[in-house]
Amino acid sequence: MSQAVSYSVQDKIGVISVNNPPVNALAQRVREGILKSIQAAQRDDSEAVILACEGRTFIAGADITEFNKPPKEPGLPEVLSALENSSKPVIAAIHGTALGGGFEVALACHYRCAVASAKVGLPEVKLGLLPGAGGTQRLPRIAGVKAALDIITSGNPVPAGKAHDMGLVNEIIEGDLLEGARRYARDLVDSGAPLKRIRDVVIDPDTIEPGFFEQARKRVNARARGQIAPDRIVSCLEAAVSLPIDQALERERELFRELVTSPESAAMRHIFFAERQAAKIKGLPRETSQRDISQAAIIGGGTMGGGIAMCFANAGIPVILLEVSDEALDRGMKIIRKNYGITVKRGKLGEEDVKQRMGLITGTTDYADIAHADIVIEAVFENLELKKEIFAKLDQTCKPGAILATNTSYQDVDAIAAATGRPEDVLGTHFFSPANVMRLLEVVRGEKTADDALATAMRIGKRIGKVCALSGVCYGFIGNRMLTGYGREAQLLLLEGCTPQQVDSTLEQFGMAMGPVAMGDLAGLDVGYKARQSRGTTGDDPRPYAISTRLVESGRHGQKTGAGYYRYDSETRRRIPDPEVEAMIREEAEKFGIARREISAQEIIARCLYPLVNEGAKILEEGIAQRASDVDVVYVFGYAFPVAKGGPMFYADRVGLKRVYEQILEFQRQHGETNWRPANLLKELAESGGSFAEWDRRQA
C-alpha cells in the first residue's frame, strides 16, 4: 500500500504490516499506507483486520520532524476515523512500545492485544504537547478520567499487564505475537464480538467528584515549572466529560495547535533532539572500537561512590566497592541498602529486585581485588594529591586496557592522568549527586584519552541510564564553570538590595526547581567555604563570599544545621525568611559601601542567567563543549534549568543574542570589566544577527 506499509489476507484475516524503521513513526507514508489498507479491507473477503508492526516495536509515536511544517495528507485523525469506522473488527497487535500517536492508533482500533513485555502510553507532555488525535478523549472513556489524567500528565508508559488490568489492552499474547493475534481475531469473529468503538462510550458527569478538575489543574500547575501543556490536558479531559465527542475532539485539536506553536514546546523539542545529539562525539569515526565492560569497581563508598555503584548494579553490571577500612566499607554498604529501601517504599522496586542488585555489589579493602575490573571509577573527596596517589596505585594494580576514571567536579583530569603510565586510559566521569538519581554524566576527555576509551565511556554511561555530554578539561568543566557567575550575581544582588526570598522566588517563577540562595543552603554553605579555603581567594573580589562566609563562621551551614540564609522547620524543611540574615546582609552592604536599591524581577533574571550564557559562549570558543545544545543538555539534566526554556543557550536565542549582548555591555558599564567581559563568540553572533543554533549547524 506504500513503501512503509503492506497488506495481505490469509484465512480471511487481513494483516496491515507497518515497516518504517527504526521505530515505525507515523510519517506521511505510514498514515497513507494504513488508510489505503483499511479501505482495501472493506472491499475484500477478510472478516477481521490485524494492525501490526515489523521490527523492534509497534508505532512508537508521531514523526516530530513534521511539526511546524505544512500538513501532509492524510492527517492522523482521518486515518483513525477509518480504523474506528471499519465494518470489520480491527485489532492492534502491540509489541515494544505503542506511544503517542501509536497508542492513539491502537485506541482507535476495536480491540488491542499485546505481548507481556509491551508498553503503552501518551508521552506528548514531555515535548510540551498533548495527544492531538483523540488520546485525551478515548483514554478516559476506557480507563476513567483520574487514570487518564495520571497517564497523560506524567507521560510515563504503562506495562502491558497493568494496561490489561485497566482495560487498555484486551488480551495478553504468549508466544508469537502475530500467530496469537490471528487466533484472537478468529475467536472474535467466531463469537460474533461487537465492534467496540471507544468514542461511543459516554462518561457520566455524576461520577466526577465536585472540584476534581480545579484541584487537578492546581496540582499539575504546581509541578509544571513553566510548562503549559499539563493545564491544557486538564481542559481536554474536562471537555471529554462535558462535551459531545466530536466537539471534544475539536477542542483537543484546537489546544494541540496552540501548543505545537508555543515557545515551551519548541524548547522541549529542542532538548529532545539535543539529548540524542550530545551522545555523538565529533570527529570520532563511526567504526571506533569499544572496550568490553563486564566488571566495574568504585573507589570510595561515600554518598557519591555508593550512588555510582548502584547505577552499575541497576544495569546488571557487577561492581566492587573499595574502601580504606572495614568500618568505612560497612558504612557505605548501609547507605546503599538505605537508598534501595527508600525506592522500595516508593513502590518503584520490589524486595527481590533489591536482593538481586545488592548481590551484584561486593565490598573490599584490598586493591588486588579490583585488578580485573574493566572500568574503575575513583570517587573520593576533591583533593588532587589524593586522587593522583590513587591513580598511581591503580596504574600498578589494574589490568592493561582497563578504563581509569575520576569522578571529579573540577579537578585537572590531565594532571591525574599524568600520575599513571597510561594516560590514554584515563578520563573524567562527573556524576551528579545523588548519582543513583541524577541523570546527567559529564564525560571529560583528557589530552591523551584514547578514542576507544572515550567511546566506551559514552556507551557505558547510556547503559547505566545517564544522559552523557562530552567536556574538555578546564576548571569546573561545562556545568560548574558556568555556575560560578550565576552564584556570584545572586550574592551581589543580595548586597545591592534583594532579600534571599526575592532572588529565589523570581528564579523559581522563571522555572528553576530551586533558587540559587536556597540551593546553597541545600548543598551546604560550608562546602563552598572549605573549597575557597583550599584553593585560596587572594585577589578575588570578596563581596560574593562575604555573606556566606559570615553565615558559616556563625554556625549556619544551611539545611543540615537548620539555618543558613533561611531558617528551616525541623519537621517539614520548609524555609522561613530570617530577619537576622537580612540585617546581616545590610551590614555587609554598608561595609562595602554599597547603596541598596529596589531591583526588578527582570534584572534578577538577567543578572543571574546572562553569566551562564556568556560563559557558555566562552566554553564553545575554547572547544570545551562540542555544541551549544550540549551546554543546554548539561543545564537541563544536571542543574534543573527549566526544560520549558530549553537550556541557557536556547533561551538566549529566544531572547535574541543582540539583546543579551547589549545588556551584558550595560552591566559591564555598571559593574566593571572583571565579571562582565562579553565572550568573543557572543559578540560575533550578536553583531551578525546569528544564533547559537546556527553556530551549531555551521560546526556540524
The H-or-E segment that residue 14 falls in is strand 13-18
The H-or-E segment that residue 575 falls in is strand 575-577
CA neighbours closer than 13 Å in the CB half-sphere of residue 178? 13
Residue entry with cell 492546581: 218
Three-state SS at 414? helix
| Nearest CA-CA partner of 304 in 331, 328, 324, 332 | 332
| Nearest CA-CA partner of 303 in 527, 107, 476 | 527
- Phi then psi for residue 119, to 5 deg, are -140, 150
Catalytic annotation present for 673: no
DSSP string spanning 646-685? T-HHHHHHHH-HHHHHHHHHHHHHHH-TTT-PPPHHHHHH
| Nearest CA-CA partner of 34 in 105, 89, 137 | 105
| Nearest CA-CA partner of 429 in 546, 342, 300 | 300
Catalytic annotation present for 489: no
Burial class (CB in 10 A: 0-12, 13-18, 19+), 355: exposed
Residue 123: DSSP 8-state: G
Q: Which of 47, 104, 489, 615 is catalytic?
A: 104
Q: Which of 32, 47, 84, 124 is catalytic?
A: 124
Residue entry with cell 556524576: 431
Vertex 597 angle, CA 592 and 603, to 5° = 105
Vertex 278 angle, CA 277 and 280, to 5° = 70
Structural contact between residues 135 and 122, judged by C-beta atoms closer than 8 angstroms: yes
**Active site residue ranges:** 104, 124
